[in-house]
Structure 1
Amino acid sequence: MVEFNLLLILLYIICSAVLISFFSKQDKWKALLITSLVFYYLLVGYKIVFLVLLSYVIYELSFITHRNLSKTRTIVLIILIPLVIFKITNTNSHFAEYNAKSIQLLEWFKWSSLFQIMGLSYFTFNGISYLMDIKRKYIEPEKNFFLVLLYLTYFPAIFSGPLHRAKYLIQQFKSISVSDTSISKGMRLILWGLFKNMVIAQRIFSLMNHLLITEISGFYYLIPGGLFFFYLYCNFSSFIDFFQGISQIFNITLKDNFGYRVYFSSSRQEFWKGWHITLNEWFRDYFFFVIAKYDKKRKYTDLLLLITFILIALWHEFTLTLLIWGIMNGLWIIFEKKVDFKKMPYPRFRKATGYLYHLLFSCILALIFISPNLTGVFEKIFSNAPYFPEQFIQKQLTNTLIIISSFAIMDYHYKKAKNKRFDDYLQDKPILNRWFIYIKMVLMILVFGISAGIDNYYTLF
């Protein structure tokens, strides 16, 4: 399991806050640039030099793009080269690698290792969106290279996943400040993220791994798939909350990336509207719409949709397994567009059965996502006799009860919060209620938290 040491994150916050105090109001962003590069270096080592050089290339190409729009496609392909090399040469199973490796500060040099950099996907996609937005005349090229460098390497964002447009983020960098309110709002999100990660996500991951090494088979084999489905949500979204909180301390608002109760989706279309939102928006705006404008009669919309999901899958990993996973997701969406479930009678019954329908197929797709052997997955589910190890329940009863109760607490607060971000949701509560929630989460982290670090599956992509 890949973990970030909380001490490292705490040092980042303290160093950034202290350094900001030495800069004037208009230059406070320089403090975040310095700490982002230093702490990024602690994780990726000498490879950060490559990213700085690539940032400068993007900076220079932005002016070429602005002057000569016809060269934009060639420029975008050039920027994609390092990421494509990384995906092609990284042949390990991401799930096996996640179980076996922790973050290494340095690696022995080989020709492809230069491109195997944590956060490279975020860096590349933001670089492309920056150049494309200049081409579309949404923004002007930023004249200050170091602001572009901060946009591409901002420490909290590059490891938490939400993709941001340059106009949205650079504008906030220019008005950084620290106040009692920003600290309070930030600490609420950090606490919420720690609770979801250390108490819920890590425990679900442990339960799933213990279950996978048993002889579980038949219909019961879908249970590990369901656990991974819920684990991914708690893991991904907790990391977003955590780094949103760090940024909020400096009055920088990072975007949400996951719908609050997306795990209770009643269709695949509803699910993808709230899952990895900024990545889907990126593929929509910079691939799907770009190609779709040539399909004036809309004959190939379904094909383009399928190709988009295949690209999303291959972004995760260049493997046959992920290719099939992408095809299945695309076909699922196309099927739901052809068969409009909303027109079916009995809305309440339809929604309730929709939860079960979506969860069932999500379990299968989750198993495909983490399995290096598709044949083995389908044999386990469809060929083997149903078997569930009864002794497993006895051994994992305490862990299971902690997961269920903690997840229920999380879902309760999300249901009450509705569309409000968690820090704003708490701000609206009476002070006694607010502190009760603080104390409750702190105690649960201290008593039920598994490790002293936060793990993040996203770092593998």
Structure 2
Amino acid sequence: MVEFNLLLIILYIACSIVLLALFKKENKWKALLITSLVFYYILVGYKILFLILLAYIIFRLGFVIQRNLSKIRLGVLCILIPLIIYKTTGTGFHFENYTSKDFQILEVLRWSSLFQIIGLSYFTFNGISYLIDIKRKYIKPEKNFFLVLLYLIYFPTIFSGPLHRAKYLIPQFKNISISDTSISKGMRLILWGLFKNMVIAQRIFILINVLSNSEISGPYYLILGLLFFFYLYCNFSSFIDFFQGISQIFGIQLKDNFRNRVYFSSSRQQFWRGWHITLNEWFRDYFFFILAKYDKKRKYTYLLLLITFILIALWHEFTLTLLIWGICNGLWIILEKKVNLQRLPYPKVRKVTGYIYHLLFSCILALIFISPDLMYLIKTIFINSASVPKEIIYRQTNNIAIIIFAFIIMDYHYSKAGNKRFDEYLQSKSLFNRWFIYIKLTLIILVFSLNAGVDNYYTLF
């Protein structure tokens, strides 16, 4: 399991606040650049020099593309090469690595290890969006290289996003401001992220490992898929909440990446509109729409949609398993568009059955996502006799009860928040209710958390 030690994060926040106090308002962004470079160096070592060089190339390409728009393809290809090498020379199956290796343990003698850098995907995608937005004349090239560098390696976003456009983030860097309100809102998000990660996600992860090493088979094997589906949400969204909170302390508002209660979607289309939002928007804006404009008669819309989901899958990892996972997602969306579930009668019944239908097929896709051997997966579910390890489940009773208890609390607050972000939801509460929630979440974390670290599965990608 990949963990970021909380002490490291606390040091980052403290050092950033101290440095911010030393700079004038118009130069406060320099403090975040310094701390981002230092703490990123702690995690990736000398490889940060490669990223600084790549950032400078992106910076210079911005001016080249402004003068000659036709250079955009060459520019994008140049900065894609390291990511392609990274994805095609990976260290192995992602879920296996996640359960057995530390992300800093790399085969240093392999030439390709230079490109095995945490956050390279997000660095590259932000770099590409920066160049394409210049080509589209949405923005002008930033004249200060160090602002571009901060945009590309900003510590709270480099590991798992959310992805941001330069037009959205760079102006915020120029107006950094710490206040009582920003600290309060930031700490709420940090607390919420810690609760989801340390109490729910990490406990689900233990349950997944226990069951995956047992004799569970037949339809019961879908339980693993369901657990991973909820684990991935709690893990990834909590990491986003956590670093959104850190940014909020500095007065920087990062974009939301997950819709509240997205796990209770009634269709795959609804799910993808609320899941990893900024990545999906990136592929929509910088791949799908670019090709769709050549399809004036809309003959190949579904094909482009399928290719988009395949690329999203291969971004995770260049494997046959992920290729199949991407094809399944694309075909699922296409099938829903053709059937048009909204036309079905009885809206209330359709909504409830939609939850069940989506969760069922999500379990299968989750198993494909984490399975290194699809034949073994098919055999385990459809050929082997049904078996559930009752003794193991009995030994996990307390863990299961805590997961259910904490999940109900999370879902309750999300249901009350509606479309509001958690910090805004708490802001609407009375002072008494806010402090009741603070104390409740803090006590649950202190009593039921397992590790003093923030677990982040998506660091692997």
What residue in structure 1 maps to residue 182 of structure 2? 182
Counterpart residue number, 1:15: 15
SS at 1:386 equivalent? coil
* Separation (CA, whole Å) in 2 of partners of 1:280 and 1:109: 35
Asked if structure 2 preserves the Cα contact closer than 8 Å seen for 1:45 and 1:106, the reply is no
Aligned equivalents of 1:272 and 1:54: distance in 2?
31
**Structure 1 residues 159-168 or 141-150, which shifts more?**
159-168
**Does the 8 A contact of 1:36 with 1:155 survive in 2?**
yes
Counterparts of 1:50 and 1:30, CA distance in 2: 20
Partner residue in 2 for 1:196: 196
1:119-268 equivalences under 5 Å are 119-268=119-268
Alignment of 1:24-423 (within 5 A): 24-104=24-104, 108-423=108-423
- Between the aligned partners of 1:107 and 1:145, the Cα distance in structure 2 is 32
Q: Which runs of 5+ in 2 are unaligned?
A: none
Question: Is the contact between residue 44 and residue 106 of structure 1 (CA under 8 Å) also seen in structure 2?
Answer: no
Could you tell me whether the CA contact under 8 Å between 1:160 and 1:243 is conserved in 2? Answer: no
Q: Distance in 2 between matches of 1:232 and 1:376?
A: 22
Aligned residues: 461
Cα displacement (A) at 1:180: 1.0
Please report how far the alpha carbon of residue 109 of structure 1 lies from its aligned counterpart in structure 2 after TM superposition: 4.0
SS state of the match for residue 243, structure 2?
Answer: helix
Q: Distance in 1 between the 2:56 and 2:105 partners? A: 24
Identity %: 75
Q: Evaluate the alpha carbon distance shift between residue 322 and residue 106 of structure 1 in structure 2; reply closer, same or farther with a 3 A threshold.
A: closer
| Deviation per residue, 1:15-51 (Å, 9 max, x gap) | 0000011101100000000000000000000000000
Check 1:105–1:22 CA distance in 2 against 1; reply closer, same or farther (3 A cut). Answer: farther
Letter in 1 for 2:224: P
- Counterpart CA distance in 2 for 1:167 and 1:348 is 41
Amino acid in the other structure paired with 1:215: E
Contact kept in structure 1, 2:197 and 2:239, CA below 8 Å: yes
Shift of 1:393: 2.4
Supply the distance in 1 between the matched residues of 2:449 and 2:354 (Cα, whole angstroms): 33
Amino acid at match of 2:152: L
Q: CA shift at 1:103, angstroms?
A: 3.4
Indicate if the aligned counterparts of 1:162 and 1:256 stay in contact, CA closer than 8 A: yes
* Displacement after TM superposition at 1:104 (Å): 2.0
Q: What is aligned with 1:5?
A: 5
Conservation of the 8 A alpha-carbon contact between 2:106 and 2:113: no
**Paired residues of 2:2 and 2:103 also in contact (CA < 8 A):** yes
The structural deviation recorded for 1:160 is: 3.2
Q: CA deviation at 1:102?
A: 2.1
CA–CA distance in structure 2, aligned partners of residues 202 and 186 of structure 1: 22
Per-residue deviation, 1:346: 1.0
Tell me, yes or no, if the aligned pair for 2:193 and 2:239 is still in contact at 8 Å.
yes
Q: CA shift at 1:392, angstroms? A: 2.0
The amino acid that maps onto 1:332 is W
* 1:91 CA drift (Å): 4.5
* Amino acid in the other structure paired with 1:23: F
Cα distance, 1:159–1:91 mapped onto 2, change above 3 Å: closer
Where do 5+ consecutive residues of structure 1 fail to align? none
In the TM superposition, what is the alpha-carbon distance from 1:107 to its structure 2 partner? 5.8
Q: Is the 8 A contact 1:91 1:318 kept in 2?
A: no
Which digits, 9 at most, give the CA deviation of each residue in 1:55-89, with x for residues without a partner? 00000000001000011011101110000000000
| Alpha-carbon spacing, 1:105–1:367, altered in 2? closer, same or farther (3 Å) | closer
d(CA) in 1 for partners of 2:246, 2:101: 26
User: What is the identity, as a one-letter code, of the residue corresponding to 1:30?
Assistant: K
Q: Report the Cα distance in structure 2 between the residues aligned to 1:339 and 1:248, rounded to whole angstroms.
A: 42
Shift of 1:419: 1.0
- TM-score relative to the length of structure 1: 0.99
Distance in 2, matches of 1:248 and 1:91, equals 35
Deviations 1:178-215 (A, max 9, x none): 11111111000000000000000000111111011110
Compute the RMSD of aligned alpha carbons: 0.9
Contact 1:201/1:234 (<8 A) preserved? yes
CA contact (8 A) 2:126 2:163 kept: yes
SS in 2 for 1:454: strand
Note if contact 2:122-2:160 (Cα within 8 Å) is conserved in structure 1: no
Amino acid at match of 1:93: F
Larger mean CA deviation between 97-106 and 122-131 belongs to: 97-106
Moved more, 361-370 or 153-162: 153-162
Distance in 2, matches of 1:104 and 1:269, equals 36
- In 2, distance between residues paired with 1:367 and 1:12? 36
Contact kept, 8 Å, 1:230 with 1:263, in 2: the verdict is yes
Residue range with higher mean Cα deviation, 72-81 or 312-321: 72-81
For 2:100 and 2:390, locate their aligned partners in 1 and report how far apart those are by CA, in whole Å.
28
Give the Å deviation of 1:394: 1.3
Instruction: State the TM-score, normalizing by the size of structure 2.
Output: 0.99
Which whole-Å CA distance do the structure 1 matches of 2:141 and 2:32 have between them? Answer: 21
Any conservation in 2 of the 1:344–1:350 contact (CA below 8 Å)? yes
C-alpha separation in 1, matches of 2:134 and 2:369: 36
> 1:324 corresponds to which letter in structure 2?
I
